[in-house]
Amino acid sequence: MHAALKAWYAQPGDQVEKPVDGYVIDIVRGDELIEIQTRGFSSLRRKLDALIPNHRVRLVYPVALEKWIIRLGPDERTILSRRRSPKHGRALDVFGELPSLARLVNHPHFSIEVALVRTEEIQCNTRGPRRASWRRKGWRIHDRKLIEVVDRRGLETPADFLAFLPPLWLDSAKSAREPRAEYAAGQRRKKAAAPPSPTPDPEFTFTTRELADALRVSRYFAQKITYCLREMGAIRSVGKRGRAIVYAL
C-alpha cells in the first residue's frame, strides 16, 4: 500500500526516498516534503517536530472507502474467496490517528491530506511474522494493495477540521456568534444616545455523547474528535452538564 501510494503521488521531477535533515522523506517536491503514513501517527511526531520549522510538510493518510477481502489457501496463491467488506471509511476517520499530532495543525508548514481509496486486503491462515487476529478467526493480513485513489481531501487549518462537524451545528454556532459580535462592538462604541445593544445569544454547546449521536460514531471516537479540536483551538470546554464536559464552538 505504501509503495503503491508513493508511486501514485510521485510526479516527474520529484525525488523519492531522499534524505533531508537526517530523515528519509518519501517524496520531495521542490520545497515541499510529502510523507505517506498508512498506520499510526505517533511514530512520526519526532520526525515532524524536526522538519516543520524549516520545511513545508504534507502528511498523506489513506482511508479505504471500499475494501475487498481476499482469502488465500495454504500455498498463499490459491484464492479461496473474494468479498467486499461491509465497512466503508470516510475522511472523518483521520481523527482516529490525529490526537498525537493535533497541536501541529496550527503550524503554517504542516498539512494533512486524506486519500480516499479502494483497496484489497489479502488474508491467509498460515503462520507468518504477523500474528493472526482473533477477530478474523485465525486469518492474518498478508498484504494490502491499492486499487484506486478515488478522491483527496486537504486539511490545512483548524477550520478545515471543524468542517467535519454537522453543518446544522456550524450554522447554529455562526448565528450565535453574530449577535455577540454586534453586542461587543456596541459596548466599545458606548454611544449614550443609541439604544442599548441586544443581549448576545447563548453559545452553541455540545457534549461528546451528542457529537457521537450526530456523527454516528462511538463515544470513544467522539472523545478523540473533541480532544483534537480543543488542542488545535477550534473548540473550548465551557463547563459541565452533569458529568459530561460541555464544549462551545
Tens of pLDDT, residue by residue over 55-74, are: 999 999 999 999 999 999 88
Tens of pLDDT, residue by residue over 73-119, are: 888 889 999 999 999 999 999 999 999 999 999 999 999 999 999 99
pLDDT reading at 41 higher than 80: yes
Cα dist from 108 to 76, 105, 191, 245, whole Å: 46, 8, 40, 30
Q: What is the pLDDT of residue 190?
A: 54
CATH architecture type of domain 162-248: Orthogonal Bundle (1.10)
Span of 42-51, 175-184, 213-222 with lowest mean pLDDT = 175-184
Tens of pLDDT, residue by residue over 122-153, are: 999 866 555 555 566 678 888 899 999 999 99
Q: What is the pLDDT of residue 179?
A: 53
Tens of pLDDT, residue by residue over 210-243, are: 999 999 999 999 999 999 999 999 999 999 999 9
| Cα(123)–Cα(141) distance, integer angstroms | 5
| Cα(68)–Cα(120) distance, integer angstroms | 5
| Cα(151)–Cα(148) distance, integer angstroms | 9
Tens of pLDDT, residue by residue over 188-199, are: 555 555 555 554
Tens of pLDDT, residue by residue over 3-26, are: 999 999 999 999 999 999 999 999
Q: Where are the domains of the chain?
A: 2-156, 162-248
Is residue 117 exposed (0-12), middle (13-18) or buried (19+ Cβ within 10 Å)? buried
